[in-house]
Every structure is written in structure tokens, then in C-alpha cells.
């Protein structure tokens, strides 16, 4: 198992003070910045683009930026995010006409490619492409909004994807996104996730460090058990 990564989603941050919020959450012990990009087309919401990613880099953020693209089409925007300082770029297979090509494009742009599975997307979508990925992101809510409830069937799916990743033998991260809280993160870790996105659970709490510490402790206990 790879070291645990906690990736707060900026979707729940105070956008009027985004730089400070990201600094605060990283100082509180977060590992990555989860950067949710929505286009009001692939998902019914609109957020931020490459300009804001590059503004965070200019602000001095050096932590990995984990760009979650909820946009269609995907390919045209990949280079812009690579130039803006993205570390990982993940996309939804339904949003790209040529999934394998998009993966190659992300890699060629110098970023780590990830594929995102919606709650109803079958795990077979990973066939023939898993070997090319650095990350599989399982959605445990339908994409578009923060603050939704965790969908339980994601646990079963995590176990299935964990088996595939272990069989593949490469250090591919298994990330979960949606409704992750201190009281369910243990079960999520036990099902095989090693990378945890949390928006409202972290940014909605008064003490970011306290929540992140609790999450890490729950993951450590679940993985030991
Ligand atoms: C949903 C986004 C998530 C979201 C998670 O489409 O991809 O990253 O911000 O928010 P919470 O943790 O509040 O469910
Ligand atoms: Zn996300």
C-alpha cells in the first residue's frame, strides 16, 4: 500500500480567499490540492479553469495539484492545465471520444494521467488502459456538487478496482471522491483506497488540522486491522 494522501477539494473553500485557504489546508497537513473543474456542460455547474491553477502556483503553492476535469471535450484543455502547473490530470471516459489518446496526451504534456469512474460507470472501462494510468478516481457521488452523501456501492467497486491495480503491479493510486468524512474514511480505506478527496468535511470544519489528523488516524487504524 502506498502512503495515504489527503486531497482537500477547493470546491468547498472560500473562493474570495483561495490562496490563503490552500496555504492553510496544506499547513494543516494536506498532501495534495484537489482542483475541481466544471464546465456547465458535462456537469451542471461551473467552477474554475487554468488561470486559477496558475494563480495558485504564482501564489507559491508547491504541493501537487490534482486536477479533476469534469469537462467535455477534454483534449483541448489538457495543455493549458499542464502549462498552468497541474501535476495530475484526471478525466471522465464519457467526456472523451478517444480515452486512450487523452491519456497519452496528458502524459506527453508532462502530467500524470488519471481516469474517473462515475457511480454507474462499470470497472471494465479500465480494461486496456489501466496500465497507462497513474491514478484511478472513483466517484462516490455523482459529479457536479460538493456536500453530497457517500454512495455505498462505491465500497464494493473500490474492492474490485483494488484487485485490478494489485494484479497490474504498477504503483497506481486509488482515489475516492465524494462524501468522504472522518466517520466513513476507515471503511473506504479498508475497501482499498489510498487517496482521499474531501471538500465539505475539511473546509466546512473550523479546525482543518483536527479533521485531517482524525482522517489519517481512521485510515491508519483501518489499514492495520
Ligand atoms: C464533486 C467533486 C468533489 C467534491 C467533493 O463533483 O468532484 O471533489 O468537491 O466534495 P465533498 O467532499 O463535500 O463531497
Ligand atoms: Zn473532484
**Which set of grid coordinates corresponds to residue 42?**
458535462
User: What integer pLDDT is reported at residue 225 of this predicted model?
Assistant: 82
30 C-alpha to ligand 1 centroid (Å): 16
**Which ligand sits nearest to residue 42's alpha carbon?**
1
122 C-alpha to ligand 2 centroid (Å): 19
Beta bridge partners of 213: none
Q: Which of 31, 36, 39, 66 is catalytic?
A: 36
Q: Where are the domains of the chain?
A: 5-224
CA-nearest of 49, 124, 43 to 84 is 49
Ligand 1 atom, smallest distance to 198 CA = 12
Which residues of the chain fall short of a pLDDT of 50?
A: none
Q: Which of 31, 39, 66, 177 is catalytic?
A: 177
Residues 6+ positions from 154 with CB-CB distance below 8 Å? 119, 138, 139, 140, 176, 178, 188
User: What integer pLDDT is reported at residue 1 of this predicted model?
Assistant: 77
Query: Residue 187 has what DSSP assignment?
Result: H
Ligand 1 atom, smallest distance to 12 CA = 9
Measured between alpha carbons, how far apart are the two ends of the chain, in Å? 14
Q: Which residue has the cell 471535450?
A: 73
CB atoms within 10 A of CB 94: 13
Ligand 1 atom, smallest distance to 45 CA = 6
- Where does ligand 1 bind, in terms of residues with CB under 6 Å? 9, 11-12, 34, 36, 68, 141, 143-144, 146-148, 177-180, 197-201
φ, ψ dihedrals at 172, nearest 5°:
-90, 130
CA-nearest of 132, 128, 88, 140 to 112 is 88
- Ligand 1 binding pocket mutation candidate from 92, 116, 146, 148 (most atoms within 8 A of CB): 146
CA-nearest of 63, 168, 74 to 115 is 74
Specify the CATH superfamily of domain 5-224. Answer: Aldolase class I (3.20.20.70)
Sheet holding 135-139, edge to edge: 5-8, 195-198, 173-177, 135-139, 112-117, 88-91, 65-70, 33-38
φ, ψ dihedrals at 200, nearest 5°:
-60, -35
Contact 29, 6 (CB under 8 A): yes
Task: For residue range 69-113, list pLDDT tens digits in order.
Answer: 999 999 999 999 999 999 999 999 999 999 999 999 999 999 999
pTM: 0.98
Amino acid at each position: 500500500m502506498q502512503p495515504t494522501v489527503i486531497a482537500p477539494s477547493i470546491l468547498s473553500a472560500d473562493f474570495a480567499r483561495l490562496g490563503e485557504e490552500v496555504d492553510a489546508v496544506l499547513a494543516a497537513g494536506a498532501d495534495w490540492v484537489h482542483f475541481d473543474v466544471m464546465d456547465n456542460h458535462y456537469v451542471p455547474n461551473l467552477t474554475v479553469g487554468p488561470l486559477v491553477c496558475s494563480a495558485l502556483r504564482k501564489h507559491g503553492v508547491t504541493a501537487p495539484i490534482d486536477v479533476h476535469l469534469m469537462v467535455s471535450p477534454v483534449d483541448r484543455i489538457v495543455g493549458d492545465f499542464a502549462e498552468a502547473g497541474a501535476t495530475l490530470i484526471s478525466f471522465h471516459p464519457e467526456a472523451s471520444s478517444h480515452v486512450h489518446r487523452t491519456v497519452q496526451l496528458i502524459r506527453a504534456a508532462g502530467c500524470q494521467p488519471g481516469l474517473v469512474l462515475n457511480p454507474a460507470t462499470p470497472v471494465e472501462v479500465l480494461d486496456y488502459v489501466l496500465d497507462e494510468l497513474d491514478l484511478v478516481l472513483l466517484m462516490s457521488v455523482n459529479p457536479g456538487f460538493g456536500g453530497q452523501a457517500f454512495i455505498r456501492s462505491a465500497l464494493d467497486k473500490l474492492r474490485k478496482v483494488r484487485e485490478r491495480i494489485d494484479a497490474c503491479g504498477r504503483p497506481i493510486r486509488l482515489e475516492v471522491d465524494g462524501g468522504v468524512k472522518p466517520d466513513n474514511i476507515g471503511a473506504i480505506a479498508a475497501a482499498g483506497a489510498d487517496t482521499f478527496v474531501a471538500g465539505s468535511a475539511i473546509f466546512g470544519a473550523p479546525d482543518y488540522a483536527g479533521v485531517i489528523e482524525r482522517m489519517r488516524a481512521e485510515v491508519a487504524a483501518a489499514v492495520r486491522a
